Amino acid sequence: MTVRLTRLLRFPLAARLVVLVALLLSAAPLLAQDWTYRVRPGDTIWDLSARYLKPSIAWEQLQSHNGIADPYRLPPGSQLRFPVAWLQVQPAPARVLAVRGPVQSQADGQPRRDVIEGDLLRIGQELVTGEDASVTVVFADDSRLQLRERSRLRFDQLSRYGHTGMVDTRLRLEQGRASNRVTPANGPASRYIIDAPTATSSVRGTVFRVSAGQDGRGAATEVLEGRVQVGNRRGQRLVTRGQATRSPSLDTRPAGLEALLPAPVMATEPQRLVTLPAAVAWQPVSDAAGYRVEVVRADQPEVLLFGRDTAATTLSLPDLPPGELRLLVRAVSAVQVEGLDARQDFLVRDQPVPPLTVRPLHGQTLNSARPRFEWTRVAEAERTVLQIARDPQFLTLLLEQDTRATHLRPILDLAPGDYVWRVASVDRNGDRGRFGQPLPLTITDEPVDPALQPPEAAQGQLTLRWQAGEPGQRYRMQLDRRGDFSAPLLDRELDQPEVSIKRPWRGTLHVRVQYIDDDGYAGPFSPAQQIALPCRTCYATGGSALLLWLLL
């Protein structure tokens, strides 16, 4: 049936009667058809009747319909014919296989509720997807439907004919787009029908897409595999692989067949997709007004992990769940008919896990052109890879460096500015796992202020102290009379952030401090600071005195 009974109420009474008679006549051959069963050893007519027939149908009717003389003897390999109208019919709820983003369902007269994986959907329920959302539904015969973003779908019929394997699935796409992978029909009563506002698509096993139409455009059906019968009350079209047809309105016969736009030629190598985020690119397609980019599971292509429409020929893929994934790119015509898919399979690894970062801290500002990066050790990891970039998507790498140690210093100087960095583990086979969370970092060329404390004078000594560095760091302290440190009076490396001078000089001295990491990397000297030395009698008193000290 290619016109729904509920839609008949919109027509005048005379038109309703004509269409209703046509529907009943078209249904008569279906109801008169037989489902065929091949007899197996041990089968009896009584057992088969109980298994497949409605309770109101006696086994004697099945015997008479098949002309069986001896009901006690059913030869194995022979065939029994079951009239479709006699078969048991039970509800067959659809099951939610996957959900991405905000998806809700609603039954008649009930409030909407959020949909989760494993939910059962029944006749009369409606699915609604939000912005950047999708849901995948599996039916009783393992046919699958993927409902895309900003779409609305109603389940008008979900039933199965007992244990025959035949399923009757009828859907109404009221808004948006749906992709379908339909299991081949398992008998004469198997049906899979999608009603769009201006046409109906009927199939018995194929892969196709349906659009409800928008912005004044009618419904469209795009066939990727098999054949689809598309029609309304004005006529029918048989659409085959690689073709599409559009239906502007219910009062217009489906348009002539048009070829789907060819698949774009990919310009990105699959190995570039091992690390996400990543940029993908393709060559432009003639007559394309835009492109649709999707990432699905390679083993379950109906499960949508990412989807985006773009007018460009390049796009950035975000971080995605690990597994065998498939990139799909297709051209979209000016009338919003989507073309054939370009496909690229790629692997996003989950193991080995990325190490935990130790330093620099999240968002830390460092005065070092070559800061030290440090992380924990992962038992399964042979090496660790460090990446540094300016953009959080890491589309343009500034540096990629690996090491067997748990720390690393870049081989290149980093100019002042903002960066992001991340690390990943590499196992003994050379397989790299997923990168950890990107961490922001700021590099500055402003010298580090050592925060000199007021000097202390006591017992003929002058003691200088400054702010302690990170664990393991040492210090180089210089004292100079003139301030250019060309010939310092004192140049000493220290384990502690302090120094004591036994016989201080008179007058004003200049002091600066350099922090040295445990691997020997020395940062820049701090800005020089001035200290005014006290008189010698101050040291002879044996007490402590707060001295005048000035910053440059």
Report angle CA 163, 194, 148 to the nearest 5 degrees. 105
Tokens 């244990």 correspond to what residue? 163
Query: Chain centroid to CA 306: how far?
Result: 4
Count each helix (H run) and each strand (E run) in the chain, helices first. 4, 43
Say whether domain 270-348 belongs to CATH 2.60.40.10: yes
- CA–CA separation, 382 and 360 (whole Å): 22
Burial per residue of 518-533, b for 16 or more beta-carbon CB atoms within 10 angstroms, e otherwise:
eeeeebebbebbebeb
What one-character-per-residue DSSP string does 501-513 give?
A: ESSPPSSEEEEEE
Exposed, middle or buried, 94 (CB in 10 Å: 0-12/13-18/19+)? Answer: buried
Q: How many Å separate Cα 159 from the centre of its chain?
A: 33
Q: How far apart are CA 370 and CA 446, in angstroms?
A: 14
Choose among 295, 292, 279, 281: nearest CA to 327. 295
- Beta-carbon contacts of 379 under 8 Å, excluding residues fewer than 6 positions away, are none
Q: Does domain 90-259 have CATH number 2.40.50.140?
A: no
Tokens 């100087």, residue located: 413
d(CA 446, CA 358): 24
Q: Which residues pair with 309 in a beta bridge?
A: 292
Phi/psi at 217 (5° precision): -90, 140
Amino acid at site 535: C
Residue with tokens 């995605």: 320
Distance CA 92, CA 141 (A): 9
pLDDT value at position 275?
A: 78
pLDDT of residue 536: 53
Q: Where in the chain is the domain with CATH 3.10.350.10?
A: 5-85
Q: Residue 175: which of 215, 143, 132, 138 has the closest Cα?
A: 215
State which H helix or E strand residue 551 sits in: strand 549-551
Q: How far apart are CA 337 and CA 330, in angstroms?
A: 10
**Burial letters 13-41, b for 16+ CB under 10 A, else e:** eeeeeebeeebeeeeeeeeebbbebebee
Are residues 404 and 382 in contact, defined by beta-carbon separation less than 8 angstroms?
yes
The dihedrals phi and psi of 536, each to the nearest 5 degrees, come to -65, -30
Q: pLDDT tens per residue, the chain (552 residues)?
A: 333 444 444 444 444 443 344 344 344 444 458 999 999 999 999 999 999 999 999 999 999 999 999 998 899 999 999 999 999 999 999 999 999 999 999 988 789 999 999 999 999 999 999 999 999 999 999 999 999 999 999 999 999 999 999 999 999 999 999 999 999 988 899 999 999 998 899 998 899 999 998 766 778 999 999 999 998 888 899 999 999 999 888 777 888 899 999 999 999 887 778 778 888 999 999 999 999 999 999 999 999 999 999 999 999 998 888 889 999 999 999 999 999 999 999 988 888 889 999 989 888 998 889 999 999 999 889 999 999 999 988 888 899 999 999 999 999 999 999 999 999 999 998 888 888 889 999 998 877 667 777 777 666 677 888 888 878 889 999 888 888 898 898 899 998 988 887 765 567 888 999 888 888 888 888 888 888 776 554 444 443 333 333 333
| Token output for 244 | 């599409």
Residue extent(s) of CATH 2.60.120.1440 domains in the chain: 90-259
Reduced to 3 states, what is the DSSP secondary structure of residue 63? helix
* Rounded Cα–Cα distance for residues 7 and 197 (Å): 10
**CB count, 10 Å around CB of 514?**
17
User: Is there a contact between 102 and 133 (Cβ–Cβ < 8 Å)?
Assistant: yes
Reading the block at residue 151, the tokens are: 């779409």
User: What gap in Å lies between CA 357 and CA 425, rounded to an integer?
Assistant: 12
Beta strands of 204-289 (E only): which ranges? Answer: 207-211, 219-225, 227-232, 235-240, 243-247, 258-259, 278-281
Give the pLDDT confidence score for residue 463 in this predicted structure. Answer: 82
Give the model's pLDDT for residue 535.
Answer: 56
Full DSSP string of 207-228:
EEEEE---TT--EEEEEEESEE
CATH topology of domain 456-551: Immunoglobulin-like (2.60.40)
CA atoms of 14 and 10, how far apart (whole Å): 12
CA distance 290 to 225: 23
How, if at all, do strands 191-195 and 227-232 pair?
unpaired
Q: List every span in the chain annotated with CATH 2.60.40.10.
A: 270-348, 357-443, 456-551
| pLDDT at position 500 | 84
Q: Largest Cα–Cα distance of the chain, in whole Å?
A: 134
Quote the pLDDT of residue 215: 67
Architecture field, domain 5-85: Roll (3.10)
pTM of the model: 0.71
The rounded distance, in Å, linking the Cα atoms of 157 and 177 is: 19
Cα 197 vs. chain centroid, distance in angstroms? Answer: 31
* Residue 245 CB-density burial (10 A; 0-12 exposed, 13-18 middle, 19+ buried): buried
Strand partners, 132: none
| Three-state SS at 45 | helix
* C-alpha dist (Å) from residue 329 to 72, 120, 182, 261, 284: 60, 31, 22, 12, 11
Q: Output the pLDDT for position 186.
A: 86
CATH topology of domain 357-443: Immunoglobulin-like (2.60.40)
- Would you say 456 and 487 are in contact if contact means Cβ atoms under 8 Å apart? no
